[in-house]
Amino acid sequence: MSGLHHVGIAVDDLDAAIANYEALFGASVEHRETVPDQGVEAALLRVGGSRVELLRPLEPDTPVGRFLAKRGPGLHHVAFEVADVAAELARLRADGVQLIDEEPRQGLFGLQVGFVHPEATGGVLAEFVGR
């Protein structure tokens, strides 16, 4: 486990959120991408040596759209960088930990990712991101 890869934040208006994070925290956009399959437009921001991922739903009936409807904008998930996503998922699966992804899949920005279910983490949607 290398540490935090990024913190994911659900937003209503991506342009406004980017401008706000630039002004508040000196953020700068590293990547920006629309992924229809996942129902999001996303921006990965650098804040100092760290990353913040802003997620805007393309439609209300998407995972991030349902999150916004239920909770409003705010902290959505936390991602940990690991050497081998498949190995981390296999380790947790062997321990009986509830996963969203049994196997790695391609996430935003071409990253290999796998999500752990919030039921397993005390209410935190947690993601592994491959190096």
Stretch that binds a second copy, among 16-24, 35-43, 59-67, 107-115 (CB under 8 A): 16-24
Token code pair at residue 108: 């935003």
Residue 48 Rama label (left phi>0; alpha psi -120 to 50; beta): left
Token code pair at residue 98: 């509830």
Stretch that binds a second copy, among 35-43, 57-65, 101-109, 123-131 (CB under 8 A): 123-131
Binding mask 83-112 for a second copy (x = CB under 8 A): ---------x--x-x---------------
- Note the Cα 76 to chain centre separation in Å: 7
Residue 65 Rama label (left phi>0; alpha psi -120 to 50; beta): alpha
* Minimum distance, C-beta of residue 30 to a second copy, in the bound complex (Å): 13
Pick 37 or 70: Cβ nearer a second copy: 70
Binding mask 36-65 for a second copy (x = CB under 8 A): -----------xxxx-x-------------
**How far apart are the C-alpha atoms of 49 and 53, rounded to whole Å?**
14
Q: Name the residue among 76, 74, 103 with its Cα closest to residue 6.
A: 76
**How far apart are the C-alpha atoms of 91 and 34, rounded to whole Å?**
32
- Which residues here bind a second copy, judged by CB under 8 A? 1-4, 7, 9, 11-12, 17, 20, 23-26, 47-50, 52, 71-78, 80-81, 92, 95, 97, 116, 118, 120-124, 126
